[in-house]
Amino acid sequence: MPRDLSQVSVAVRVGALNARYKHHAATSVLEHALRDKDLGKVALVSSFGAESVVLLHLVSILAPQTPVLFVDTRMLFAETLAYQRQLAESLDLCDLRIIRAQKPDVSFHDPDNTLHQVNTDACCALRKVAPLERALAEFDGWITGRKRFQASSRQAVEFFEAEAETRIKVNPLAHWTRDDLAEYMINNRLPRHPLVAQGYPSIGCAPCTSKVAAGEDPRSGRWRGQEKTECGIHFINGRATRSPAKDPE
């Protein structure tokens, strides 16, 4: 009989999961923890960005039944949409769900598609945060590609995090390094996002993403010239993470 997760707090379940899988590898977290009674029903949320193929490939092999949620803001690069279709086919993603903002909401809040020019936080909330929240309502947790090396604010990221008392965030690649990712892509002959070779090491919506010069922080091309560092979907203990460093998603 499935466990009634409503009777156990998210924080308690996160503590138990981190203790249980503390010394496990990413593959073990995906293969075993995703079936753990303390986790419940989960989905993988993927941007199909610069590093996304690693986690998508792992999930397609170890937990192919996992739903994959892709938020199409309708402002993505054409290359991202083509890459998403390519990976969905090559990895045989059997439960891919395309998530978009509701048309009435967009028509009301951003009728001429210029909201990003005056309020990027509001644009992200409309086109990404709200649609994803609706899509995640049926899940007890979601899988992300967050890693410790990405920024100072993520150096203590664990395999499992509490997202307030709502759901659990799963970070199977938390301990991986940039070299680990590159080696995995090479060994498994995985295709890179085409924009990476063109100077885009971090890829979001087209209007808010620019090329990164040699020596710049990989995240500096996101919301260039603004203090904004996150689109709003990532929280730690229910609070948005913000820091001077640009944090990859």
Active site members: 231
Residue 225's region, left for phi above 0, alpha for psi from -120 to 50, else beta, is: left
Query: DSSP 3-state assignment of 150?
Result: helix
Interatomic CA distance for residues 110 and 29, integer angstroms = 40
Query: DSSP 3-state assignment of 109?
Result: helix
Amino acid at 176: W
Helix (H) or strand (E) holding 161: strand 160-163
Token representation of residue 30: 């995906």
Interatomic CA distance for residues 63 and 143, integer angstroms = 12
Q: 174: closest CA among 43, 23, 2?
A: 23
Interatomic CA distance for residues 229 and 53, integer angstroms = 22
Report H helices in 66-167.
78-90, 103-109, 115-118, 120-124, 130-136
Find out whether 56 and 87 touch, Cβ atoms under 8 Å.
yes
Find out whether 76 and 208 touch, Cβ atoms under 8 Å.
no
Find out whether 55 and 62 touch, Cβ atoms under 8 Å.
no
